[in-house]
Structure 1
């Protein structure tokens, strides 16, 4: 019996030893396979890295060759530089990175300069395929930013792009503050420029993913955005900057007073029920404050402002004012009217058509509000979308005024 027990114990010991040896061998094989796999992955990574580096070296060589060829072309054309450059102008690849959703539906009423209408709001919607959300990290820490964009509603764009040979630069443009007087285009902020590129500063109210809420904007709805840069007070704000005398004229475009009729207030209340969920404004009262800020500057076109007090119906209609607004039929084209009492002007904001008259000199009476057909079912960032982030930014002390009126 004792011998059997000893034999069994020896057998178990032998089996345990064999199992240990086998386990050790399996572990070593597994380690060898893992080591081989690691070497394979390292070799693959090294090959991919070398391939990427080779591709980059190739692109650099091509870019250098292109720049060299362009420089050679310029040097070879020095003899008649002006002629050759006009025939074969340089171009640079650019594409918009986003679009503006603005409270201004049309060019008419959009401020001529940024920050003059603090309540003017817009959302910049960036294209996720071109601009990752990480690109906006840190932008909310600035109070203001620069928006570089395209004047996409210029009436001369088709000619500039489709027939550039016939598109000649207008050296001088009419300036509103000079009441029709002309100034060199490069000494003005005119949208009709050698290239239809605009530059505007705006207040950063909030950032959400690929979207930026701005205020104080002078951007019309649908504006393509080319780039966004932070505003740096120490370099962008020049304390000793000087401007010409014609820009220092006090009250050149100011309005004496703005009054709202009872009918407008009632009509606005009806319209607000339809647009409030899509508006960037918290209430009808805040929207009315926006209207007042916009109209506190004379937003009429230059041709409307410089006309004599008595104008023909044909002149009025050519400036976008319908004959029904002036109560006239087609056979009265040469009748004279007084625009201070007869002409109805229109301002489109947030899907609402605001109509007003200039009743005496620079006194404005806002008469009516009507819902635009484009106001319904628009997919836009609204006050409700931004409210929480705006409130959080205010709590952090990064904005002075509150979103609520």
Structure 2
């Protein structure tokens, strides 16, 4: 029997021999891999040079073709009158739609943040904008909305046949009582490109929907973009405006009152719209009406002609003194104006002293509101009060 020391020495020798052989095999394998890598690198270098040569040849061919075409066009242009190059166009598609408390243009504020209770939901198109795109917007107090004046009556002509669409260089300005001003010096919706820009307060964000307040947007407005409002850059200290814009209350009315009949009619209408309304109660909705009508929302022609008609009627004895309870004779004894909010037709009258009496409230026919109502937003708003 071999002594233990001899067996240990033999084991060590065998292990050492195995290690030496492994190192030799590893070195040979590394050498083969290194040679293969060099072959691949050389092959890639040849391929890259071939691609670069093809690219250089293609670029030279394109340059030669452009020069030839340019020379041919220049020779052809000598035989015909010069023609203006077609302007570049930049097609834009809406990313969402406004679901507003204002059912029609009439009554929609002329400027944002004037009616603080004016609310709207912007519903983004999930096919174009993921919900994650709104992440972080709730941390801002306000945002900018870029949109299309989609209710302009000349849009088809403007887009389909621009040559026949003649821009009106000057438009009538409500604050100037019909006086005209250059369209680019106003906020008129009838512009060379019917794009609007509004600032609004961010109330809440939920998935693909954004709740705003202080809006001047009509229901159905296509939204092109949303940007956060940055006070340090978007608010200009010492900014100047023309004198006619510095007149406070130029379009403000003297008073807004509600008839008893209106109060009863609104209570009836509210039971039909409250589930989809952006307002918590009929009282809050009435506050919205008062804010909207605190400014004379009538057009220039409406503000000038109706009083003449009313005065002539009074002189001829056809109309008696208007009372709050006599809402049924409103159409016979003067002009009744209408304001459409949240699917409700609000009718009112205004006298020569700019005092408004809200007469009636009726449901608009075929109005279907499919949107986030106040109840859907309530939990998202938390402790904040709309």
TM-score relative to the length of structure 1: 0.69
The answer as to whether partners of 1:169 and 1:194 remain within 8 angstroms in 2 is yes
The structure having more radius of gyration, on CA atoms, is: 2
Aligned to 1:150: 148
Taking the TM superposition and a 5 Å limit, the aligned residue runs for 1:245-284 are 245-284=243-282
How much does 1:291 deviate? Answer: 0.0
Q: Distance in 2 between matches of 1:250 and 1:163?
A: 41
Aligned to 1:137: 135
> Matched residue of 2:347: which SS?
strand
Q: Deviations over 1:244-278 (max 9, x none)?
A: 00101232100000000000000000000000001
Q: Distance in 1 between matches of 2:361 and 2:373?
A: 20
TM-score relative to the length of structure 2: 0.73
Structure 1 residues not aligned, in runs of 5+: 1-53, 313-323, 328-340, 395-401
Q: Distance in 2 between matches of 1:379 and 1:247?
A: 38
The answer as to whether partners of 1:180 and 1:306 remain within 8 angstroms in 2 is no
Aligned to 2:340: 348
> Matched residue of 2:382: which SS?
helix
* Residue 385 to residue 169, structure 1, CA distance change in 2 (3 Å): same
Q: Quote the RMSD (CA, aligned, Å).
A: 2.5
Q: Distance in 2 between matches of 1:118 and 1:208?
A: 21
The answer as to whether partners of 2:103 and 2:340 remain within 8 angstroms in 1 is yes
Matched, 1:229 2:227: yes
> Matched residue of 2:351: which SS?
strand
| Aligned structure 1 segments of 4 or more residues deviating by more than 2 angstroms | 306-309, 324-327
Q: Distance in 2 between matches of 1:299 and 1:272?
A: 24
Q: 2:369 aligns with which of 370, 374, 378?
A: 378
Aligned to 2:289: 291
Aligned to 2:315: none
Q: Deviations over 1:144-163 (max 9, x none)?
A: 00000000000111211222
Aligned to 1:84: 84
The answer as to whether partners of 2:107 and 2:339 remain within 8 angstroms in 1 is yes
Q: Deviations over 1:22-63 (max 9, x none)?
A: xxxxxxxxxxxxxxxxxxxxxxxxxxxxxxxx9xxx9xx9xx
Structure 2 residues not aligned, in runs of 5+: 1-50, 311-328
Q: 2:218 aligns with which of 220, 232, 235?
A: 220
How much does 1:83 deviate? Answer: 6.9
Between 1:381-390 and 1:156-165, the stretch displaced more is 156-165
Aligned to 1:369: 361
Q: Distance in 2 between matches of 1:356 and 1:378?
A: 24
Q: Distance in 1 between matches of 2:241 and 2:298?
A: 24
